[in-house]
Amino acid sequence: MNYIITTEQLTKKYKSFVAVNDVTLHIRKGSIYGFLGPNGAGKSTTMKMLLGLTAPTNGSFTIDGKQFPTDRIAILKEVGSFIESPSFYANLTGKENLDIIRRILGLPQSTVDDALELVGLSEFGNRLAKKYSLGMKQRLGLAGALLGRPPILILDEPTNGLDPSGIHEIRNLIKSLPDLYDCTVLISSHMLSEIELIADDIGILNHGRLLFEGSLDDLRQHALQSGFATDNLEDMFLSMVEKDNASRKQRAKL
């Protein structure tokens, strides 16, 4: 299998609290990988480690054949990211905001128009960021991640705070990316229903532990075997998490 990101027992501790616990991930090249888990599961912490924003306590990872931490800078050049709600200069236009990021990354000027085009904001590039709707701001955040068309995108809850039509819009945009240009997308969410329409593969995290990893078809199989209706994977996801929580409580009592 051709994996573009693999992690090996990735672990992050904050003092004695284990936020990410022995997580081994396999992300296929060209896929959309849905990284799922309730709030506090450790999704953002994992993504921050992959982006070199926080150091692992243990474990390692490889991105496009490059090993962390040796190839840290080379890794950064390949990854576009969207972490939590992106902030922009309100009194600059969308285009000017992107141009600031472009300069930091040392990319050619043409990448700004290209990124605006990819997210469907070309017409609004010269509008002030403060006049953007929430959905447009999220698009602009995505455009920032797409500058220079990086082969890997790491998107942390990119639909957070959007209304249903905004969610729909961003979801379609993300789904179209691997076809628009050859990229791999790692996207997190706390709702499976939001991801199941676009993801090829799924990883489910709870309390820092990976409970499941596999294709959506594998998850459907798993649902069938566990007696769940496969037309409602969200229920199946929630009960997987509940079961894990219950066995944690049980273990804590012993």
Binding site for ligand ADP (CB under 6 A): 14, 19, 37, 39-45
Please, are residues 222 and 239 in contact by the beta-carbon 8 Å criterion? no
Q: How many residues does the chain have?
A: 254
Coil, strand, or helix at residue 207?
A: coil
Give the x/- contact pattern for Mg ion in 125-164, rule: CB under 5 A: ----------------------------------------
Please identify, using beta-carbon distances, which residue of 54 and 215 lies nearer to ligand ADP: 54
CB of 40 to ligand ADP, least distance (A): 4
Alpha carbon distance 74, 64 (integer Å): 10
215 vs 38, 65, 204, 239, CA distance in Å? 19, 22, 11, 18
Residue from 11, 44, 81, 111 that binds Mg ion (CB under 5 A)?
A: 44
Q: How far is the CB of 54 from ligand ADP (least distance, A)?
A: 7
Nearest residue by C-beta to Mg ion? 44
DSSP state of 91: T
Distances (CA, A) of 122 to 81, 103, 118: 20, 19, 8
44 vs 111, which CB is nearer to ligand ADP? 44
Residues in contact with Mg ion, counted by CB under 5 A, come to a total of 2
| Burial (Cβ within 10 Å: 0-12, 13-18, ≥19) of residue 138 | buried
Residue 93 or 189: the one with the smaller Cβ distance to ligand ADP is: 189
Supply the minimum distance, in Å, between the C-beta of residue 1 and Mg ion.
Answer: 28
91 binds, among Mg ion, ligand ADP, none (CB under 5 to 8 A by kind): none
Contacts of 105 (CB under 8 A, 6+ apart): 147, 148
What does 40 interact with, of Mg ion, ligand ADP, none (CB < 5 to 8 A by kind)? ligand ADP
Task: Give the shortest CB-157-to-ligand ADP separation in angstroms.
Answer: 8
Q: What is the DSSP letter of 128?
A: B
The least distance separating Mg ion from the CB of residue 23, rounded to whole angstroms, comes to 14
The smaller minimum CB distance to ligand ADP, of residues 93 and 188, is found at 188
Q: Is 97 in the site for Mg ion (CB under 5 A)?
A: no
Q: Which residues of 27-55 are buried (b: 16+ CB within 10 A; e: fewer)?
A: bbbebbbbbbbbeebbbbbbbbbbbeebe
Which residues bind to Mg ion, rule: CB under 5 A?
Answer: 43-44
